[in-house]
Amino acid sequence: MNSSTIRRAALTAGALALAAMLAACSGRGTTASTDSSSSSKAKSFSRIAIVTPATEADHGWNQVGLKDAAAAAKSLGVKLDKYPNVGYDDPQTVIEQAAKKPGVGFVIAHASGFGDAAAKAQADTKVPVLVTDYPDKQVTGAVGVITFSAEQVGYLAGIAAAKTTKSDKLGVAISADDVNWYSMAGGFYEGAKSVNPSIAVDVAYISASGYDDSAGGKKIVQQLIAKGDDVIFGMGDGATEGYVSAVNDADAAGGSVKYIADIGDVSDLVSKPDELLTSALWSFTGTYEQAVKDIKSGDFAKKPYNLDLANGGLLLQDTAQLTPAIKSAVATATDGIKSGSIKVDQAQSKAQLDAILAK
C-alpha cells in the first residue's frame, strides 16, 4: 500500500467524538491533555526537523508541509532538517533520529498516522513534536496537534465554482475516506448553493484509501465530466495527477472544464493555465512559527493549532481566472465566516456529508 493511502486515516469514532466536543466547546481550542510531565529538552535551539510519509511530488500534503517548514525555518532563523518519504513501517525510529540530531528542538511529524510514533519518540527524547488531526493525542508542553477548519476554504471554492460554471453543474472528486475531504466537500456544496440554490453538485469517490490512485482519479473525473460538470473540485494527493489529466483531455477534445485543486499548487500539471480556476490552499508556515515561539515561551501545546481563514492557514490561490466579481464575493464570504455571520457546517464523516448534500 502506498504511503499516502494511510497518511491521514479516517478518525476513529472516539476521536471524532472528541474532535466534535472540542469544536463545540471552544472552537476546537480546548486542551485535550494537561499532562506536562514530558517537557522540552531545551528551549533554545538552532534546528528544527520535519518528517513526511511521501515527497513533495504529490502536489498536496507533503509538498506543502515541506515547503512551509522551509519558510518557517527561514523566518525563525533556524536550520531545517528534512526527512521525506519515510513511509509507515517505522516512523518512530526516524522521528527519534531527527530529534536526537544536535541542535534540534522541535520535530514536525507531518502525518496523522505518525501520531503514536511521534508521542513515543517525544517521550524518549523529550523534544517537542507536532502531529495532525487527533486532538486526543495532545500533551501540554510535549505533543502539539494541528486541526483544520477545512469547510471554510471549501465554502470559498464553492463560491468561485458557482460563479464560473456555464452548465450549473459542479463535480467533486474525493480520493479516500478522509475527514478533511468530507469537510471541504460539504463546505464547497454550501458555498455553491449560497450563490445559486438550484445548482447541481455531483460527488464521486475513488475508494476508501485512494489518495495516490491516479488511474482511479482520472476515471471518476471523466465520469463527472460526462455528466456535464464543468468545474471539478479534486481532493486527492497523488490522485490529483489523474484528476488533472482528465481535465486536460477534456480541454484537448474541445471542452471547457475548470479545475480546483486542494492543499497545494498544481499549476505545473494543467496543459493550459486557464484550466486551473484556483486551489483551496493550506498554509502551515504560521502554525510552525507559532509552535516554535510557544516552545521557547513555555506555552507549547496548550491547545490545538487550528488552520482556518482567520489565521491565514486556509486561503484560495489567486489566479487570473478569479474575476473581480469572484474575488469580491469570496472577500465578502471570508469576512462573514470570520465574524461568525456565515456558519459553515463541518462534515466529519461520509454520513454527515451525505446529510449536507441532501439539503
| Domain assignment of residue 74, yes or no | yes
User: In the prediction, which pLDDT does 212 show?
Assistant: 87
pLDDT of residue 2: 41
114 lies in the same domain as 166: no
In a domain, 314, yes or no: no
The pLDDT value recorded for residue 11 is 37
DSSP 6: G
Q: Is residue 218 part of a domain?
A: yes
Interval 112-155: pLDDT, tens: 889 999 999 999 999 999 999 889 999 999 999 999 999 999 99
Predicted local confidence at residue 44, as pLDDT: 80
Residue 345's pLDDT is 98
pLDDT attached to residue 113: 87
C-alpha cell at 137: 493525542
Q: What residue numbers bound the domain in which 66 lies?
A: 3-148+283-307
Q: Is 141 found in the same domain as 13?
A: yes
Claim to verify: residue 162 and residue 195 sit in the same structural domain: yes
In one-letter notation, the amino acid at residue 140 is T
Query: Looking at residue 99, what is its pLDDT?
Result: 98
Which residue, 145, 153, 164, 159, is CA-closest to 291? 145
The residues, ordered by sequence, that sit 6+ positions from 230 with a Cβ below 8 Å of its Cβ are: 165, 166, 167, 169, 170, 255, 256, 257, 258
- Overall number of domains in the chain: 2
Are the C-beta atoms of 175 and 235 separated by less than 8 Å?
A: yes
Domain match, 167 and 244 both: yes
Do residues 182 and 330 both lie within one domain?
A: yes
Output the pTM of the full model. 0.85
Positions in the chain short of pLDDT 50: 1-42
Q: Are residues 66 and 105 in the same domain?
A: yes
CATH number at residue 327: 3.40.50.2300
Give Cα 355 distance to the centre of its chain. Answer: 22
230 and 287 both lie in a single domain? no
* Same domain membership, residue 293 and residue 277: no
**Whether residue 84 sits in one domain with residue 232:** no
